[in-house]
Structure 1
């Protein structure tokens, strides 16, 4: 019961803090008499959803597809590559310095090249999101898989445990906290990557819509787009947190 009450307490605090932010926003705009084109009120921001030409649902679906697609690709490739690193140390010694160097490249600089190579559409933005959030996953996962007690590995090998058994029964469960640490960081980066891709070249999406309404100084629509982008990111982060609590807590209870 204490665990449930603590969770409800945290959720209540989160809701209250968001409501206080909205109230502070409204008071700042109203009492400060801030012009609408500088900062709209919460009501004006929500009212922007009623503009049919902005096609909010369609653009939101495109952005969500880019974020979740790039993130899923990064998790799949990152965890898979880290798994290979744990099996073949020479591969890690050869590839990890290369990955570090590639990660230092500003992804904004890669954006125009990706668009030239793959044209416009969802695909290039998924690749940009992938390129930004891939490295934290492979780095933390590789670290977690290597943080295994040598004596425990020697014991399993003495009992003739296979490489797959060592990975699934010892390395992977012990690496879960590291993996989810990288996944949570990557969830934030995936959102930034998708929006950067839409800013650089896109024909749909919330980032593209922000550039369009910027010309007409429709700040309310820009605020609404930012809120929707944030909501997508919060949903992704919440899913990762839920999966972490399910797997890591369950594994801790079993052990």
Structure 2
């Protein structure tokens, strides 16, 4: 009888689980890839067969890539500007949101007096306030960063307030047993218990920081990607406009994914 030979299982060589993680990533993103391919197909099909006005009206993929590559020096400079604005604005928004949230969570009087005013102020449409921020803080980095931080801080702030105000009574008993003072209780028990919910707010804050920075740039602040969109549209360089929009989407997606991986790695899991 012929001896049967079977291929060795890849699992015995995948000591670090790399193949399994790749398979999981592929299965999770296959739907997104299909949607992107479909959108590119619709875009190219429309621009080739149904667009009678030419690339100036609705640019093809080839025209978009060509105009973007031709302006690569300007685009790369704008990406650097927007990147700095987003990072600085994000850090400022997180610090502001967590600090203000902790203060209001610990003080009923401060929460009672300040929360309605903050909610009303944040309810004002952000584009209306953008010119005010740029007038107060200037058209450069300071104006864009402060406006982006204002747009973005609220999710972190509200999650901090709600999670710190909603504490398990068992922790209060533990505090009395160990004799922790109010600051120790906040730093070592309440904050870490609330961290997963705060992190959820931080992720939303990052996305809103990008939105805030682009809105401010639309009005001439900073000279980043938003400003470049306005300039390219005014010059009828619609291929460049489309290219920048795609770059903003990629920029936001990649940075958000990296941030999520980092935050998930350092955040304790709730049991």
TM-score bucket (shorter structure): 0.7 to 0.9
The match for 1:156 is 175
Q: TM-score, normalised by structure 2?
A: 0.83
Answer 1 or 2: which has greater helix percent.
Answer: 1
Superposition pairs of residues 48-59 of structure 1, within 5 angstroms: 48-52=67-71, 55-59=74-78
Q: Which residue is 1:29 aligned to? A: 47
CA displacement at 1:73 relative to structure 2: 0.6
Question: Runs of 5+ in structure 1 lacking a partner?
Answer: none
Name the residue aligned to 2:205.
186
Distance 2:66 2:183 in 1: 55
The structural deviation recorded for 1:203 is 5.7
State TM-score, norm by structure 1.
0.88
Instruction: Report the Cα offset of residue 51 of structure 1.
Output: 2.1
Match of 1:246 in 2: 265
Which sections of structure 2, spanning at least 5 residues, go unmatched? 1-16
After superposing on structure 2, the runs of 4+ consecutive aligned residues of structure 1 that deviate more than 6 Å are none
Q: Is the radius of gyration larger for structure 1 or structure 2?
A: 2
Q: Are 2:149 and 2:209, in contact at CA under 8 Å, matched by a contact in 1?
A: yes
Asked if 1 retains the 8 angstrom alpha-carbon contact of 2:51 and 2:58, the reply is no
Match of 1:19 among 17, 25, 37: 37
| CA shift in 2, pair 1:163/1:14, >3 Å | farther
Supply the distance in 1 between the matched residues of 2:26 and 2:71 (Cα, whole angstroms): 37
Moved more, 23-32 or 94-103: 23-32
Query: How many equivalent residue pairs?
Result: 252
Task: Name the CA distance, whole Å, in 2 between partners of 1:126 and 1:168.
Answer: 28
**Counterpart check, 1:97 vs 2:116:** yes
